[in-house]
Chains A and B, each alone.
Chain A
Amino acid sequence: MSELSVNHLLGIKYLNQKDIQLIFETADHFKEVINRPIKKVPSLRDITIANLFFENSTRTKLSFELAEKRLSADVINFSSGQSSVKKGETLIDTVNNILSMKVDMVVMRHPNPGAGVFLSKHVNASIVNAGDGAHEHPTQALLDSYSIREKLGEVNGKKVVIVGDILHSRVALSNIFALQLQGAEVMVCGPKTLIPKYIDKLGVKVETNLRKALNWCDVANMLRVQNERMDISYFPSTREYTQQFGVSKDLLDSLDKEITVMHPGPINRGVEITSDVADSQQSIILDQVENGVAVRMAVIYLLASKIKQ
């Protein structure tokens, strides 16, 4: 087995094709492990991991924590809400204090883009970016690609449309990098106000008509409307958004082919997709959640193997 080319997972743009291949092959083995009666392996019993969440998260945090525990790592959790960050402590001071407790790896979510890159230059630990502002969310993109590979056999040559709030989405950017690296064609679709101006410079197609986008694609990755990141109104009303960019069962049935539907969660049921789509055979949303643990185990395992004894 080769090794990852990086010591940190800061974003998909720092990875190469071989890294993604290695992560997926390792995740295949961990997927088998997490389907055993006893889902735990002792590989990381001498590693301590700090999960630093400076921004709210449910599934990513749980998924990382479960992945770490299934690898037998010691885990400490930190949420900024109840911490000295509120008292004015800097990020580096906070992290250095935690690292003084002999922590080997930091999984960090932070509201500011580039926080992971910044930290990796100032502290001596392996950093995993669990989402930095509207920049990147690499493990989500990896598990999305892994789920596409599992469902459709391969990512290369597939057509994927990312629908919704592209402007505020770190999932969209990481997915664009990951999918293109694996040879997929990517389209973004959403209200013009939620599509960044220069997105086509990344080599993606842009479409504002959902039906056209769905007719083109093999996979539709629906994004959540991130109301919490919107300081102004980007579309007239939720109802109007749903009418133009929401996916319903009727819409899917009216296409002349079957497409795969994904969503990184949490779903606003009835806004991005209707309940009957979320729970349909075409949806792989729950597979994404299961694969998330296997992919995160793979990332942590491969990064940990590079930490010097």
Chain B
Amino acid sequence: MSQKVLLNEKEVNIILHRLACQLIEKHNDFSNTVLIGLQPRGVFLADRLAKILSEDYQVKDIQLGQLDITFFRDDFRRGEKPLEANSTKINFLVEDKNIVFIDDVLYTGRSIRAALTAIQSFGRPNEIELLTLIDRRFSRHLPIQPDYRGRQVDVINNEKVKVNWKEHDDADADSVYLIEK
């Protein structure tokens, strides 16, 4: 299994700060905005962005949640492996809020479709945006595109994009790899 570095720690850091600045440009003081990390791996990116926003840019009282989409996926009973559920933590109202979905890699768009359905269980948001660190171009099954993207990459089908976070993946540094399956 060969792997190639797509982004190193410095590049990830620059991109995260740029994404944070883009969020501030759009949402200003975040008084009516909530960040929602999509389980399982979007929550790490959401945590990181919330930390940058509050520590580096002094944005106060960021509302951060985690959304699991397992029970809303369209591949139940279709895959080889059973689906693994994760926890959902949304301890605030989403009614009339501006929501930013955060996921590490955007691939087919099916997870985002499931997330759009899942969030309706919590109320009717004002608007929903999508932020992804990596946008896999030309691989979408649904008409879904990110509003904020870190890096756009071309990846063929037998390759996988893996985002490693140093605090979660036992890695020396943040990095994004292209792995041949």
Contacts and interface: CB of A to CB of B under 8 A. Distances in A.
Interface of A: 1-3, 25-26, 29, 32-33, 36-44, 46, 71, 301-302, 304-305, 307-309
A29 B122 contact: no
B83 A305 contact: yes
A3 B82 contact: yes
- Residues of B contacting A: mostly: loop
A51 to B, nearest CB: 21
Given A302-B82, A305-B83, 13 more contacts: A1-B83, A1-B85, A29-B68, A29-B70, A32-B87, A32-B88, A41-B72, A43-B73, A46-B77, A301-B71, A305-B76, A305-B82, A309-B77
Contacts of B118: 41
Nearest to A36: B121
Nearest to B123: A37
B120 interface: yes
B68 A1 contact: no
A52 to B, nearest CB: 23
A37 B121 contact: yes
Contacts of B25: none
Contact of A2 (B70, B82, B88, B120): B82
A13 to B, nearest CB: 23
Interface residues of B, number: 21
Interface of B: 68, 70-73, 76-78, 82-88, 117-118, 120-123
Contacts of B77: 46, 304-305, 307-309
Contacts of A43: 71-73, 76
B125 to A, nearest CB: 13
Contact of A36 (B70, B73, B82, B122): B122
17 contacts: A1-B82, A1-B83, A1-B85, A2-B82, A3-B82, A26-B85, A33-B71, A36-B121, A38-B122, A40-B121, A42-B117, A43-B71, A43-B72, A301-B71, A305-B76, A307-B77, A309-B77
B121 A29 contact: no
Given A37-B122, A42-B72, A307-B77, A1 B88 contact: no
Contacts of A41: 71-72, 118, 121
A180 B7 CA distance: 52
B57 to A, nearest CB: 32
A29 B78 CA distance: 21
A301 B73 CA distance: 13
A280 B31 CA distance: 42
A25 B86 CA distance: 10
Contacts of B83: 1, 305
A265 B6 CA distance: 60
